Amino acid sequence: MTQKKKTGTRKAPAGHTSHHEESFWSKYVFSTNHFVIALQYTITGVFMALIGGYMAYVFRMQLAFPGEAVPGFGIVGPGEYNNMVTNHGTIMIFWVAMPVLIAGFGNFCIPLMIGADDMVFPRLNRLSYQIFLLSCVVIIASQFVPGGGFGGAWTAYPPLSSEAGYSLTKWGQTLWLLGVALEFVAFLMGGINFITTTMNARVKGMKMYDIPIVVWFIVIASILFMLSVGPLIAGAVMLLLDQFHVTGFYNPALGGEPLLWQHLFWFFGHPEVYVVLLPAIGVCADIIPVFARKKLFAYKIVLWTAIATGALSFVVWAHHQFVAGIDPRMAHIFTVTTLLISIPIAEMVFVYIATLYGGSIEFKTPMLWALAFIAEFLIGGCTGIYLGSTGTDIYFHDTYFVVAHFHFTFVPISIIAVFAGITYWFPKASGRMLNETLGKIHFWGTVIPFTFMFLAMFPLGMAGQHRRTSDYTIFPELAGWQDWRVIITYCLLIMIAFQFVFFWNVIWSLKSGKKAEKNPWRANTLEWLVPNVPPHGNFTDGFPEVYRGPYEYSTPGRKEDYWPQNVPD
């Protein structure tokens, strides 16, 4: 091993060439191969997205047609409604956005893009997925215990989350907390792997500024996650003890303080937004130059901007608590930091637009998704300004304006950017091209209903429609808006229906799609060097050497319009 290190690791790993046939279990279930683990995470994440989507369908049907039995569920009472809303939010963030964007794309991209044969700690990687899978089982199981799943909102504020007498879900609340805690443990392990791998296992010649942006962003996201989740883990231990009436950390009657949870939760919760945003925006940063055939505008600035965003994200959390009784002077400080953080994000958007400017743009499906990400995220970002300012937030707080705002950030992150990544790397992962026509039908069928669905929620919020209420027709001043709710629900049904196009596209392409070339998008990064469906050990023809950054497209004086990182001249 040491011998190989000295000779520049150009030779293929000896052990991997002589692989005997592995059984199904050791190859797909207990594998330590990063590519298999990436698939496991992505498929599990998509499966959880179906559950989260089903929950959205159930509570949207209740809102549009209150009191009527929902096909496939039944009557949705207030308890079930709260359960569905809570677990929809929890699942979509912790079991969809994180596993797919960080763990799925991270496991796929990092070793391939930095020219490594695997993660540096493959067995830790496997353990991380297994704990994650266990957390999925726990959160799904929480639906089937007496009292049903937890219904105290994904933010789990005490006393709703600590007192079974209030939440009415004695078992659900504890299982929810355990599930989330296990998920955190899984991602801490994964994060340590991502950071260490990128720091230490880069191929010969790959300097810091030669690392593709998506790898950088997943690493920064992992560091943010690691540094922000600690206090919440401590807080979760405290909440667990409170739930069993051993302690009273969050109970004022016993000398505790319910606001403490809000601080701990949002100290994690706000960086968490950037934990999922950065990989998503990184995927787009890697896709846009490929389909614009142009160098990424200002690589170093994008990178340092992300680092600045990460640092700032630790000092904005209290903008979630403007109405929770915090000192107004503190609220002013948090208003300033919150508005400051829009600067680096706006700058990233400008960089992408500058990358597009003057490029020869190909509107392939991945590019459409990446462009849609920017457009939709912009709406989310701009409406955030109203919520970051105390004056307007006090009015908008906990209304549908907030719901619309964060869906315009989270749907681009966990749906649009995920589809951008899946459609972009599908040829490498499967060896087949996806069907372009079906891909475009799926794209427009997802993005258009999504946009109308959540645009309609802004006026609803401004009209005073509060979140987490199962039936608005009982409020005279809100009953008149019922048509809007029905339209939103129809938009959701259309959006869900179009997802079948995607699944059909995947199944059809896997069977009879066009065979993909090794580098179908003519991209520069190293993952396109390995054979399609990367084998164990990835670089079977020996490790490459890196000579330049990843975004050299349309370089003047070169015959080809791309210049792979491993090509000397």
Partner 1 sequence: MSFEVPVATTRSSTGIPTGRLGMWWVVASEVVIFGGLIVCYLLFRLGNDGWGGEASFTIVPAGALNTFVLLTSSYFVVKAHKLIGEGDREEAFKYLWYTIACAGIFLLVKTYEYTTEITEMMHHHTNEDGHMIGTFPVFWGFYFAATGLHALHVIGGAVVIGIVSFGVKKGENLQRVEYVGIYWHFVDAVWIFLFPLFYIAK
**φ, ψ dihedrals at 318, nearest 5°:** -70, -5
What single-letter DSSP state applies at residue 66?
A: T
Contact 288, 356 (CB under 8 A): yes
**Binding letters toward partner 1, positions 528-547, x by CB under 8 A:** ---------x-----x----
Task: Classify residue 394 by burial, with Cβ atoms within 10 Å: 0-12, 13-18, 19+.
Answer: exposed
In this complex, which beta carbon is closest to partner 1, that of residue 199 or of residue 353?
Answer: 199
Smallest gap from Cβ 179 to partner 1, in A, equals 18
Report the site for partner 1 in 451-470 (rule: CB under 8 A): none
In this complex, which beta carbon is closest to partner 1, that of residue 158 or of residue 380?
Answer: 158
Tell me how far apart the alpha carbons of residues 420 and 29 are, in angstroms, rounded to a whole number. Answer: 27
**Residues touching partner 1: how many (CB under 8 A)?**
59
Q: What are the residues whose beta carbons fall under 8 Å from the beta carbon of 343, sequence distance 6 or more?
A: none
Smallest gap from Cβ 239 to partner 1, in A, equals 11
In this complex, which beta carbon is closest to partner 1, that of residue 207 or of residue 514?
Answer: 207
In this complex, which beta carbon is closest to partner 1, that of residue 264 or of residue 277?
Answer: 264
Nearest to 474 by CA among 150, 86, 88, 78: 78
Choose one: 1-9, 131-139, 315-323, 448-456; the region binding partner 1 (CB under 8 A).
1-9
Using CB under 8 A, pick the residue from 254, 343, 382, 507 that binds partner 1.
Answer: 254
In this complex, which beta carbon is closest to partner 1, that of residue 246 or of residue 512?
Answer: 246
In this complex, which beta carbon is closest to partner 1, that of residue 15 or of residue 391?
Answer: 15
Helix, strand or coil, per DSSP, at residue 431? coil
Nearest to 101 by CA among 421, 373, 376: 421
In this complex, which beta carbon is closest to partner 1, that of residue 202 or of residue 364?
Answer: 202
Contact 175, 182 (CB under 8 A): no
Nearest to 9 by CA among 123, 114, 125: 114
Contact 378, 277 (CB under 8 A): no
Distinct helix (H) and strand (E) counts, the chain: 21, 0
Angle at 434 (CA atoms; ends 430, 435), nearest 5 degrees: 155
Using CB under 8 A, pick the residue from 35, 154, 249, 498 that binds partner 1.
Answer: 249
Smallest gap from Cβ 435 to partner 1, in A, equals 35
Using CB under 8 A, pick the residue from 71, 72, 165, 255 that binds partner 1.
Answer: 255
Tell me how far apart the alpha carbons of residues 406 and 296 are, in angstroms, rounded to a whole number. Answer: 28
When asked if residue 515 is in the footprint of partner 1 (CB under 8 A), the reply is no
Name the CA radius of gyration of the chain, rounded.
24
Report the site for partner 1 in 17-56 (rule: CB under 8 A): 26, 30, 32
Contact 179, 121 (CB under 8 A): no
Report the site for partner 1 in 184-243 (rule: CB under 8 A): 188, 191-193, 195-197, 199-202, 206, 226-235, 237-238, 241
Tell me how far apart the alpha carbons of residues 518 and 527 are, in angstroms, rounded to a whole number. Answer: 9
Contact 318, 330 (CB under 8 A): yes
Smallest gap from Cβ 446 to partner 1, in A, equals 36
In this complex, which beta carbon is closest to partner 1, that of residue 539 or of residue 551?
Answer: 539
CA 202, 208, 214, 217: dihedral to nearest 10 degrees? 110
In this complex, which beta carbon is closest to partner 1, that of residue 16 or of residue 440?
Answer: 16
Smallest gap from Cβ 133 to partner 1, in A, equals 17
Choose one: 113-121, 160-168, 356-364, 428-436; the region binding partner 1 (CB under 8 A).
113-121
Contact 120, 55 (CB under 8 A): no
Nearest to 98 by CA among 44, 177, 22: 44
Q: What are the residues whose beta carbons fall under 8 Å from the beta carbon of 64, sequence distance 6 or more?
A: 482, 485, 486, 488, 489, 490
Contact 107, 529 (CB under 8 A): no
Report the site for partner 1 in 256-295 (rule: CB under 8 A): 256-257, 260, 264, 267
In this complex, which beta carbon is closest to partner 1, that of residue 445 or of residue 537?
Answer: 537
Choose one: 109-117, 315-323, 446-454, 460-468; the region binding partner 1 (CB under 8 A).
109-117
Smallest gap from Cβ 173 to partner 1, in A, equals 18
Smallest gap from Cβ 431 to partner 1, in A, equals 23
In this complex, which beta carbon is closest to partner 1, that of residue 192 or of residue 339?
Answer: 192
Using CB under 8 A, pick the residue from 246, 327, 476, 556 that binds partner 1.
Answer: 246
Using CB under 8 A, pick the residue from 45, 111, 151, 550 that binds partner 1.
Answer: 111
Contact 501, 537 (CB under 8 A): no
Smallest gap from Cβ 230 to partner 1, in A, equals 3
Sites of contact with partner 1 (CB under 8 A) = 1-2, 4-5, 9, 13, 15-16, 26, 30, 32, 111, 116-123, 188, 191-193, 195-197, 199-202, 206, 226-235, 237-238, 241, 245-249, 254-257, 260, 264, 267, 537, 543
